Amino acid sequence: MVTLGDLAAHLGCEPGLADASIELDGIAPLGRAGPRELAFVSEARYLDALKSCRAGCVLLKSEWQADCPVPSLCVPDPYLAYARLSSLFDLLPASVPGIHPGAFVDASVKLPASASVGHGACVEADVVLGEDVVIGPGVHVGRGAQLGARCRIWPGVVLYHGVILGDDCVVHANSVIGADGFGFARRVDGWEKISQLGSVSIGDRVDIGAGVTIDRGALDDTLIADDVIIDDQVHIAHNCVIGRRTAIAGCVGMAGSTEVGEDCTFAGQVGVSGHLKICDNAHFTGQARVIGAIDEPGSYSSGTPLAPTKQWRRNAVRFGQLDALQRRVVKLEAKLEALGGAASDDE
């Protein structure tokens, strides 16, 4: 339970006319929030819903306050304010510091008293753990890996030997960081494995979803900069470099040695070829296929629109004849010109 006054203090704003002693138990969408719940309005299109709102308190912009029938807190960015307050309502108890009896921690590891290691976890030799680190049940931390303060590693994560995480990173369940990059040289009779001698180095405040794979580098390290956020089931191959604050949505795949700038966004299932440079502020829509360098900030797409399969099939067949169609049009233009028409402007 938190009070409206607590929320205002946390945001550094004034409770204004609202009663600071109002008690709140949770956050709920505007439409169903009750008197003990916080709600928020982030866009003007929700103002109608605001008028009939029954929440205990609403986060909103000051210009919308007149439309609000219940107590409110005025903030410049209500969505950001909601994000900042959300953790106050998270009821999950903090992890208990200490080593669970079912965990294995190598004798060489100097564990801070504030750190927690769960049942079944395995922390190998020479691992370095920061204050307040939480190593969940069943996590594996390979030899010599380093985790900064307050890193939270959820159950089943595997961090290979030598992997480095900065402070305040989160890695969700069953993600794998530092597995071998996919490097092989062709022999006549098969493939010669290339030992992946680099590692993975991850900055501060990096948030990694569940089921993610980030491979270790062949010679140099794979690098993830500060404040990068990565959704579930993303694959980042060896020697990629991801710039600060870049956001990567679910199921994106990135091939080896690609360098991504800062503040880029990748929507779900985007595929990126290897050895590319992508500039800052490049944005890719879902399933985009990125096979060349991107030098200009902006939004990029590929693919075709969804359509009923029968109709799609007709057009898809025509795609396979596009070059021929283009030639037919060129021929038509030439003939028409020969017949006396003037050449078109954009030929």
**In the range 287-346, which residues lie near its own copies by CB under 8 A?**
287-292, 296, 298-329, 331-333, 335-336, 338-341, 344, 346
Per the CB < 8 A criterion, the answer to whether 201 and 224 are in contact is yes
Q: Does residue 174 belong to the site contacting its own copies (CB under 8 A)?
A: yes
φ, ψ of residue 51 in degrees (nearest 5): -60, -30
Beta carbon nearer to its own copies, 19 or 312: 312
Q: Does residue 192 belong to the site contacting its own copies (CB under 8 A)?
A: yes
Contact region with its own copies (CB under 8 A), list: 9-17, 47-55, 62-70, 208-216: 208-216
Q: What is Dmax (Cα atoms) for the chain?
A: 92
Alpha carbons 153 and 176: distance in angstroms, whole number: 11
Site string for its own copies, 227-246 (x = CB under 8 A): x-x-xxx-x-x------xx-
Q: Does residue 261 belong to the site contacting its own copies (CB under 8 A)?
A: no
Size of the site for its own copies (CB under 8 A): 141
Per the CB < 8 A criterion, the answer to whether 137 and 120 are in contact is yes
Query: In a 10 Å sphere around its CB, with 0-12 CB exposed, 13-18 middle and 19+ buried, how is residue 160 labelled?
Result: buried
Q: Measured from the CB of residue 17, what is the shortest distance to its own copies in angstroms?
A: 26
| The token pair that represents 93 in the structure block | 């108890």
Beta carbon nearer to its own copies, 17 or 318: 318
Long-range pairs for 108-112: beta carbons < 8 A, 24 or more residues apart: none
Q: Measured from the CB of residue 98, what is the shortest distance to its own copies in angstroms?
A: 14
Contact region with its own copies (CB under 8 A), list: 4-12, 53-61, 108-116, 281-289: 281-289
Outline where DSSP puts E strands in 41-110. 57-60, 72-74, 98-99, 104-105
Among 75, 90, 97, 108, binds its own copies (CB under 8 A): 90
Residues 50-79 that bind its own copies (CB under 8 A): 77, 79
From the list 216, 219, 241, the residue with the least C-alpha distance to 160 is 216
Q: Does residue 132 belong to the site contacting its own copies (CB under 8 A)?
A: no
Per the CB < 8 A criterion, the answer to whether 27 and 38 are in contact is yes
Is residue 172 annotated as a catalytic residue, yes or no? no
Among 15, 156, 243, 261, binds its own copies (CB under 8 A): 156
